[in-house]
Amino acid sequence: MSNRSRRVLIDGRALLDRNGGGVFEYARRLTAALKESGRYAIETWANAALPPKADLVAPVAGIDTLTRYPNKLLNASMRLFKTPHLERFASEPPTLCWMPNPHFVALSPSLPLALTIHDLTFETYPEFFSLKQRLWHRAVAPRNLARRANVVLAVSETTKRDLVDRWRLPPEKIVVTHEGVASDFFDTPPQDALRQARERWRLPERFILHVGALEPRKNHLGLLDAYHQLRPQARYAGLGLVLAGPSGWNNAAILQAIRRSPYRDDIRLLGYVNDLDRRCLYRLASLLAFPSFYEGFGLPPLEAMASGLPVVASHAGALSEIMETAGLLTDPYRPTEIAAAIDAILDSPSLAERYVARGRDRATLFRWSACAEKTEGAFDIIAGT
């Protein structure tokens, strides 16, 4: 079968996330890797109800068809009336459709569907989601969508196990496609970029870095507790804490804890940072702390390891699967344990170097090209090739 007759229509709505969340990163990186591979002709569709704006240009890059229906109307029509079928937006009839995450969708019954599930935290930890988010998940009905899918792509063995245990999906229907790390993270950013980043954010000489949305699931309060345990020690005078990532939901308690911190002058809240800025932060930081209560994968630790930064993370979810022995893993519910792990690395350059070496070796095993190859293998199954 020629490449022209093997066409994948991608639901590219995740590519419209201007805050650059984990699903956005996965969707854009894997879409680019699939296009570069060339085994399938790739076409992307998305819908954005807002009129075109200059600040939407970059996130929309890579989308072939951008419709402008009111989102609520389109979602309701797909949910209630099963129309319009997604394939109608393709320039040519697709061989299959791939959804990088669950969403409202209507498809012809005969069109094969590949669906990516990142994790089931919306079921296992509903307290980490707002009422609006919980209602959205209920309306989208991801479990029913997974049953309709011809193949489900899980970003980790942990997520696959959850899909089998909680949703009773047949294991043979699920293909694990570990996410990757972009090659840029292995390279040192230009010195000018590093200098400008330090000056722009007034970064302390030594600092703990966290990358992730500012919301309860990421356990910022536990990290702040650990930070407060370390700072009174003389050797950690001036140690900073840098929090990089978009604003999430229900973060009032986190913001209040930062304002009330006796070390608030050494805490930086940066908001969303782009690829180059993240690369700079990984190179300037002393370590990455990532004590999430649960992760279906966890890209920041992988990016940090590729950048040569030691990592302290929680053992929750897929983090232990992804990191293995390449970082120190802790109990996210024990800030004292988090503080002890951070202290161990900061106080021992030889230990830090050991984890830097392990981390870089481990990160080389995760490539977007490998993720694309496994994804194409799943496509082959349902495309009948």
Each residue's pLDDT, cut to its tens digit, for the chain (385 residues) gives 445 579 999 999 999 887 778 899 999 999 999 999 999 999 999 998 766 544 444 346 679 999 989 999 999 999 999 999 999 999 999 999 999 999 999 999 999 999 999 999 999 999 888 888 899 999 999 999 999 999 999 999 999 999 999 999 999 999 999 999 999 999 999 999 999 999 999 999 999 999 999 999 999 999 999 999 999 999 999 999 999 999 888 899 999 999 999 999 999 999 999 999 999 999 999 999 999 999 999 999 999 999 999 999 999 999 999 999 999 999 999 999 999 999 999 999 999 999 999 999 999 999 999 999 999 999 999 997 5
Label residues 252-289 b or e (16+ Cβ within 10 Å = b): eebeebbeebebeebbbbbeebeeebbbbbbbbbbbbb
Q: Identify the pLDDT of residue 212.
A: 95
Find out whether 129 and 105 touch, Cβ atoms under 8 Å: no
* The predicted structure's pLDDT at residue 54: 43
Whether the pTM exceeds 0.85: the reply is yes
**CATH T-level assignment (fold) for domain 183-363:** Rossmann fold (3.40.50)
Q: Give the H or E element holding residue 105.
A: none
Q: Rounded to whole angstroms, how far apart are CA atoms 295 and 121?
A: 8
pLDDT (0 to 100) of residue 130: 87
Contact call for residues 106 and 78 (beta carbons, < 8 A): yes
- The reply to whether 3-180+367-383 and 183-363 are identical in fold is yes
What local confidence, expressed as pLDDT, does residue 21 receive? 81
Q: What is the pLDDT of residue 58?
A: 39
From start to end of the chain, where are the E strands? Answer: 7-11, 41-47, 65-67, 96-99, 113-117, 151-154, 174-176, 207-211, 240-244, 267-271, 287-290, 311-314, 328-330
For residue 178, give both structure tokens.
């570990």
- Domain range summary for the chain, segments of one domain joined by +: 3-180+367-383, 183-363
Confidence at residue 61, expressed as pLDDT on a 0 to 100 scale: 67
Rounded distance between C-alpha atoms, residue 251 and residue 266, angstroms? 20
What integer pLDDT is reported at residue 1 of this predicted model?
A: 42
Give domain 3-180+367-383's CATH architecture: 3-Layer(aba) Sandwich (3.40)
